[in-house]
Structure formats: structure tokens, C-alpha cells
Amino acid sequence: MLDQLPLLPADPILGLAAAARADDNPNKVDLTVGIYMDEQGLCPVFDAVQRAQRQLVEEETTKAYMPASGDAAFNTGIQKLVFGEDSAPLLAGRISSIQTPGGCGALRIGAEVIAAAVPGAKVWVSDPTWPVHIPLLGSVGLKFENYRYYEPDSHGVNFDAMVDDLKQAQAGDVVLLHGCCHNPCGADLSLEQWGVVADMAENQGFLPFIDIAYQGLGDGLDADAAGLRLLAARLPEMIVAASSSKNLGLYRERTGATLFLCRDGNSAAALQSQAQVAARRVYSMPPAHGAIIAGKVLTDPALRASWEAELQGMCQRINALRSQIRHQLEAATDRDFGFIEREKGMFSFLGLSKEQAQKLRNEHSVYMLDSSRINVAGVNARNIDALAAAVGQVVKG
């Protein structure tokens, strides 16, 4: 039976990352996988995370299962982080959450709950979006429509087209939005544009489903959640998928949460129960290690202050890198790359063709996706010159 299954191709992003690792060129540049890298090319461990981890090892007395909803401190901390300490819906008891295996688990549990409410619901997804959104949500039977989002010519959001497309969204539909630091294009909505989306959700009755995986890596923790919080202040219902992989560096610990904004406390409790039942049939029980660490960092004042300072430094480094990349690419190509500075977070399309991206890999060992999407945080002082020189050669032919 099993030997009838064919060999499937590698994931396009992970496959490229594997090719980069196998490249023996000492000057190779790997800008493929979306992981924050420091100046040494390493994915760092936050000092606050290290301290919390030591506390956990010293204090842990059992390996019994976690509660079905996950670590209580983590749930409290992530709710306040996403919606704000003084969030009116939070204070009114209208928000519940469940800890999940990473942001992917958060998206899947959100999809399970949507499918329970409206089987085969239509989900409107930005063009482009993170490629894994479709299989994560579609595997429960949800259907998809695209709304126009990124405009390659302007390297920005085509908001008029987005609005035109979303005018077709109806009550019972879901609109998937990137909370900040759009993956893969880095072009975000302005607060005014978030207000327009809120107007449309109120008038048309669609449900926003917000994926916020990079809070703190655009303009800061509060600024990056401003659009989401605007919706929360105005709408009766919303689902949020949050990840601690990027802003707490807990990639391998798979720590995330699905959060539910509901009409009242009774509905919030009902949605949490639906999520717990969905989790039971998908992965049964939540993992402990990362969530306990994150809960300590988010709720302990000293650890929280240390973490926020380090995260702010990472955010500032990314924004400084954007400026450096822009100027070096402009010098090497005589093209305008000003859009790189206007974007937010870890990703940007360089505006190169598929053939140019492949030429960069084959002839210069510079690895980026065929779309020319790069991980900005993969650039550092040791490889930025090689990146700019290679792009200059390819662009100028």
C-alpha cells in the first residue's frame, strides 16, 4: 500500500535553504528561510529567555500534561501583548485563548473553529500571502478567494484594488489579514487603511482572521498591533493567530496561541471550548517548555523589561539594515530601492525576475526565492557587499 506513494518535491523555501547549506562557497549568502539572524549569522537566544529557562529547569517538578488550554501565565501574557494591557474587550472578559504548537498550530485551530461554525466557509487571502496559509486552512475544507494586495510597480499596497475585491466579502466569509510585517512583501496597511477595513467588516459582516507573527519587529510592540487593536475596539468578533517564534526567538519550541474576540464572556468561553476540542483531535495536548518560558518572560517585570529592550534592539537593527541595503543596491544598480526602507519587518521583494534570482544562485551563491523575496535579517556586515555586487552584476547584465 505505502509503496504506491510517489516522492514529493521539497518545500520550495526549505529546499532552497538546503541547497544553500550544501553550497561549499565560503562567500555564499543565504536569505531564504524567515528566521531572525544576528550580525554573526546566528539565531540568538534572548537573555530573558535563557534566564526563564534556567528558572524552569530549577523549579520543574513534574512532566505531567499541560492543561488543555495551555500555560495560564502564557495565555494571560499573550492576550495582553496582542490586545494591550488596557484593552476594553479584555477587561470585559470578551477574549479567550488557547496555547498552540507555534503560529502554524494557531492558524490550524482557528481554521478548525471556523469550519465548525460555517463548514466550507470562504476565506479571502491576500495576493501574495505566506504560502503555508493555504494548506493550513484549506486542510479543514475551507475555500479561498484572493484579494489584490501588493503592487509590484509601486512596491506597495494597492489598497484601492484590495477594497474593491473585499467589497464582495459577505457575512459568513473570513478575511485573513497580516497584523504587521507582511510576509512575504513587507508592505503594511496604514492605520487609516485599517480603519477602512473595520468599516467594511462592520457593514458587510465578514470575520477578520489576523495572523500576527512578527509583533515587535516592525515599529515596536504597540505600534505593530495598532491596526489589530483598532479592529478589536470596533468589532464584535475576531480571531487572531499569534506566534512567539520571532519576537521571543522560540522557533524550535513551537509556541503560539489562537485568540478569540467575542461578543461577550459566555461566547468567549464557548469558543475556547471549541478550540480545546479541536486541539484534542489535531494534536491532543499542548507542549510545555516554550509556553512556560514565554509566560515567565511576559509576566515577570524584570524579565519583561530585559526582553523588550533586546527586542527593540533587533527591530532597530532590521530598520537600519533596510537603509543600508537600499543605499548599497542603489549604488550597485543605479535603480531606485527606496521601497525597502518604507517596508516593515523581515521580508522584502527586490523586484528581480525569476531568471535573475536563479542567476544569483547559480553564478554568485546568493540564495533568495524565485520571487526575489529576501530575509532582510539574513544580511550583515560580512555579506552585504557581496549581495550588492552580485545583484548589480545580474541587473546590469
Active site residues: 130, 211, 246
CA dihedral angle for residue 262, residue 80, residue 132, residue 349, rounded to 10 degrees: 120
375 forms beta bridges with: 347
Contact (Cβ atoms closer than 8 angstroms) between residue 391 and residue 350: yes
β-pairing, 122-127 with 174-178?
parallel
The torsion of the CA quartet 351, 357, 363, 364, rounded to 10 degrees, works out to: 60
Q: What angle do CA 153, 215, 124 make, to 5 degrees?
A: 55
φ/ψ of residue 120, rounded to 5: 70, 20
Using an 8 Å Cβ cutoff, are 346 and 376 in contact?
A: yes
At a CB cut-off of 8 Å and minimum separation 6, what does 286 contact? 66, 68, 69, 70, 71, 98, 99, 100, 101, 279
Single out the residue of 347, 350, 339 nearest to residue 214, CA to CA.
Answer: 347
- In angstroms, the CA 260 to CA 268 distance is 7
Q: Which residues of 262-282 are buried (b: 16+ CB within 10 A; e: fewer)?
A: beeeebbeebbebbbebbeee
What is d(CA 6, CA 153) in angstroms, rounded to the nearest whole number? Answer: 40
Taking residue 228's Cβ as centre, other Cβ atoms within 10 Å add up to 25
* 8 Å CB contact between 229 and 84: yes
What DSSP assignment string belongs to 71-82? -HHHHHHHHHHH
Closest to 30 measured CA to CA, from 334, 310, 383: 383
How far is the CA of 199 from the CAs of 170, 202, 209, 213, in angstroms?
13, 5, 15, 24
